[in-house]
Structure 1
Amino acid sequence: MSDYLETLYDGYGQRFIVERLLHEVRTEHQHLVIFQNAVLGKVMALDGVIQTTEADEFIYHEMLTQVPLLAHPAPKRVLIIGGGDGGILREVAKHRGVEHITMVEIDGSVVEMCKEHFPGHSAGAFEDPRLNLVIDDGMNFVANTTERYDVIISDSTDPIGPAEVLFSENFYQACHRCLNDGGVMVAQNGTPFLQLDEVKTTASRMSGLFADWHFYLSAVPTYIGGVMTLAWGSKDVTLRRQGAETLAQRYSDTGIQTRYYTPELHAAAFALPRYVLEAIGKA
C-alpha cells in the first residue's frame, strides 16, 4: 500500500492510504487518479486535489443541487457546469418537473472514467432523455449560448488550472445573462476557513450583479477545512428566504429521497459564521 497526499495547500494537507490504485491518466486537461481507500471507498483526485469519494459524495451533491431546485418554485430548465462525475446530474434528475438538463463538462474523459469507476454517482442519469451532455469549456458555453435556464449549478474544481475561469467576473456575468427571470445560480466556493479570499472575491463579483447574493454551508468530511461555502446568486430576492414549511411541502411533493438534505437544514444553511459575514461585508 502507498499514500496519497493532497497538495491543495502549502503547509497543510491530508493523507490517504491507497489500498489499490485503480486508474491514473493524464487527460488533455489534467492529471486524474482514482484509488481505493478503506474508509472512503473509491476516491478521485485531479491535479493533486481530492474531488469526490464514494462515502461522502451525497452530502455535497445533495446540498449543491436540492437547495436551489427546492428554493425555486418550478424549475424546468437546469444547466450544470462541470460535474463530470455525475453526482449533480443524478440529483437534478430526481426532479420529475425538470424538463431539460444541459450539462457542460470540459473533460470528456472524466465522464467516461466516472461512469466506469463511480457508477453510483450518476446512478444511470447519463441515460436520462432530458439530458444534453456538451463537452466544452463552461465559460465558452455560457458566453455564447442563447438558451435560458431557471437554475444554474457550477460544480467546478478549485480556481486553479482549467477551472480558474469559472470563478471570474465574466463567468458570473454570463451566468446572470443565461438565467430566466426568477432564476438562481449556485457554485462551489471552497472551505471558508482556508479559502476565505476566494469567498471575498466571489462576494465582490456577485454583489453588484444579482438582486440577492449570499453563501450557504455544507459539512463535507473529505474537503479539508470541514465546512464548504456554496455561493448563491438569484434574480429573485424571495427564493433564499423560503420558510421551512414551504420547503417541506415542496420536498414532500417531489417524493425525493435524500440522505443529508432536509428542509430544516436548507433553511439553516444560510446562517453564516461571523468571520465569514465580516469577510463579505454582511456582519
Structure 2
Amino acid sequence: GGGEGATAREVLKWKGVEKVVMCDIDEIACKICREQLPEWNAGVYEDPRFQIHYKDALNFMAEWSGAKFDVVIMDICDPIEAGPGVALYFKEFYESTARDKMSEGGVLVTQSGCCGLLNYHECFTTIHNTLRNSFEHAYPYAVDIPAFGCPWGYNLCYNSCAHPDVFNWDPKSVDDRIAAAIKPECLPLHDYDGHRHRGLFSLPKVIRKALAEETKVMTKDTPVFLT
C-alpha cells in the first residue's frame, strides 16, 4: 500500500534508513498520484534508496528473496470480504510469511481497522488478538484521521526482547530519539512527539477491556470482515 508515496516520504526522513521497498497492487493509481499529488510523495520516486514493485502484496512477500526487512509497514486495504487484502490479516500470513521475511529484530506495523467506541468490535480487536497470537509482543494504538471520521487502529508487533516496552516510553526519551534520528531539515515533525506517543497507546478503557477479552483469531478458515 501507500501508492501515493506519503508513507515512503515519512520513512525516508529517518537518517538510518538504507532502503525502502514498496509494493502496491495498482500501478495506474500510483502513477496518477505521482503526477497529480507531487506534494504527497515529495520526490521519493527520485530517491536512490526507494524501490517500488507493482504486485499483489501477498505474492510479493511470499516470493521475496532479498535481504530481510527490519521494518514491515502494512498500509493495506481493510479486511473486506471482496477486497484484495484480507489474506494479509490471517494468522497464516503473519507466521509463515511475514515473520520469515523479517530480520531478527524486525518490527511489523499494520493498519487494523476502525477503533471508535461504536465500531472497534468489527475487526480491530480480532486483528490485535491474531497478532498477539502470532508475535511475542503486539501493541495496539489509535490515530485520529479526519477523512475517516473516526479513530483508526494500528498494531505494532515484534518478537525481539531487545526492543524496549514502547508503551512505557517517557515523552523526553521519545523527543530525544526523534532529534537524533530524523534529518534536521525534516524537523519538527507535524504530529509525532513524546507526548503524542504516549497518547497513541492510551486507548479508552472499554476498548482496552475488549482487546484483553477478545478470543477470535483470523485465519483462512475463520475470517473476520469489516462491514
Q: Equivalents in 2 of 1:171, 1:246: separation in Å?
A: 34
Among 128, 140, 157, the alignment partner of 1:233 is 157
State the Cα deviation string for residues 146-181 of structure 1 (Å, max 9, x = none): 331111100012112112222222332222222212
How far 1:108 moved relative to its partner?
Answer: 0.7
Check the 8 A contact 2:112/2:128 in 1, yes or no: no
Relative to total residues, which structure has the larger strand share, 1 or 2? 1
Q: Equivalents in 2 of 1:259, 1:209: separation in Å?
A: 33
Letter matched to residue 202 of structure 2? A
TM-score by length of 2: 0.82
Equivalent residue for 2:99?
176
Superposed, 1:234-253 pairs within 5 Å as 234-237=158-161, 238-240=164-166, 241-253=168-180
**Please, which runs of 5 or more residues in structure 1 have no aligned partner?**
1-81
Among 71, 74, 81, the alignment partner of 1:151 is 71
Aligned alpha-carbon RMSD (Å): 1.8
Q: Equivalents in 2 of 1:268, 1:181: separation in Å?
A: 28
Among 179, 192, 195, the alignment partner of 1:261 is 192
State the Cα deviation string for residues 224-283 of structure 1 (Å, max 9, x = none): 2x2111111112352524332221112112233221111221133111112221221169
How far 1:86 moved relative to its partner?
Answer: 0.6
Q: Equivalents in 2 of 1:135, 1:273: separation in Å?
A: 38
**Aligned partner of residue 280 in structure 1, secondary structure:** helix
How far 1:205 moved relative to its partner?
Answer: 1.3
**Aligned partner of residue 175 in structure 2, secondary structure:** helix
Check the 8 A contact 1:142/1:171 in 2, yes or no: no
Q: Equivalents in 2 of 1:114, 1:205: separation in Å?
A: 33
Equivalent residue for 2:50?
131
Q: Equivalents in 2 of 1:206, 1:94: separation in Å?
A: 28
How many residues matched? 201
Q: Which sits farther off after the overlay, 230-239 or 181-190? A: 230-239
**Please, which runs of 5 or more residues in structure 2 have no aligned partner?**
215-227
Check the 8 A contact 1:200/1:280 in 2, yes or no: yes
Equivalent residue for 1:105?
24
Matched, 1:274 2:205: yes
How far 1:204 moved relative to its partner?
Answer: 2.4
Check the 8 A contact 2:143/2:151 in 1, yes or no: yes
Check the 8 A contact 2:23/2:52 in 1, yes or no: yes
Q: Which stretches of structure 1, 4 residues or more, deviate above 6 A after TM superposition?
A: none
Equivalent residue for 1:140?
59
Check the 8 A contact 2:112/2:154 in 1, yes or no: yes
Check the 8 A contact 2:113/2:123 in 1, yes or no: yes
TM-score by length of 1: 0.66
